[in-house]
Amino acid sequence: MPTILIVEDEAAIADTLLYALQAEGFATEWISLGRDALARLDAGGIDCVVLDIGLPDLRGFDVCRELRKTSDVPVLFLTARSDEIDRIVGLEIGADDYVTKPFSPREVATRIKTILRRTARQATSPTPATIAGLTLDRAAGRIACHGQALTLTRYEFLLLAELIEHPERIFNRAQLMDRVWQDALDTDERTVDTHIKTLRTKLRAVLPDLDPIVTHRGLGYSLCRIPSCA
């Protein structure tokens, strides 16, 4: 039975989520402060976090940043705002999905199920593959560039992993959104370009001339087997 940690300071919202998630067969815990949530997460045993951005002590963004230093546990953000910049920031710092208040508790439960199915698939992925100096280990959630581990956000990892697993295949933005951001229904296709840009920056930090990601104007992106062909 997966255990879901709800980090939400409004008791009425927390009670609604607790009831809805328990009805779907989840075990649940509720914490109202960010610092207490980090301490609980450090103890382990949590399979997914439903995290409010507007907490009274720490912003949800800050909680997520701290969590990502030590853990890949999935995070679903809750927020009272629908600004695109908030959605993008939340996803880029490592969240798995984003729901704007008011929301349907059933939708939250469905999104959590989708996130957990995806993470379960990653845990049973095959042995590491190496393409163009990049070594993907899905089971461990790591990508190394010429032997040096890359520090990636969740969506950077998923995007680069998709390209590594299908070298030389051209993906358009819509295809990458479907494969990588399938749980983030409100994300704009422009976030693909943003993540490609940050991936290139991190790869070049390892080797200044390294750029295995090819931009095909009007078509999309691919990963070249030989980095020099980019």
Helix locations, 124-172, DSSP H: 154-165
Residue 6 · residue 16 · CB < 8 Å: no
Q: What angle do CA 126, 138, 202 make, to 5 degrees?
A: 140
Q: Where are the domain boundaries for CATH 1.10.10.10 in the chain?
A: 129-229
Q: Which of 121, 128, 159, 124 is nearest to 142 (CA)?
A: 128
CA angle 177, 119, 132 (to 5 degrees): 65
Report domain 3-123's class: alpha beta
Q: Give the model's pLDDT for residue 229.
A: 47
pTM of the model as a whole: 0.57
| Residue 169, both tokens | 């295949």
Where, residue-wise, is CATH 3.40.50.2300 in the chain?
A: 3-123
Domain 129-229 listed as CATH 1.10.1660.10: no
Helices 34-42 and 60-68, axial angle in degrees (round to 10): 20
- Please tell me the distance from the alpha carbon of residue 82 to that of residue 118, in angstroms, as a whole number: 25
Per-residue pLDDT of the chain (230 residues; tens, 9 = 90+): 899 999 999 999 999 999 999 999 999 999 999 999 999 999 889 999 999 998 999 999 999 999 988 888 999 998 876 666 566 667 777 788 888 888 889 989 999 998 888 777 655 555 567 887 899 887 778 899 988 889 998 889 999 999 998 888 899 998 898 888 876 655 677 889 999 999 999 999 988 888 899 999 989 999 987 654 44
* Nearest-angstrom CA–CA distance, 174 and 165: 18
Residues 6+ apart with CB under 8 A from 25: 1
Q: Which residue has the tokens 């729901």?
A: 99
Q: Which of 16, 43, 21, 11 is nearest to 111 (CA)?
A: 21
Identify the CA nearest to 192 among candidates 215, 208, 167, 224.
Answer: 215
pLDDT at 102: 85
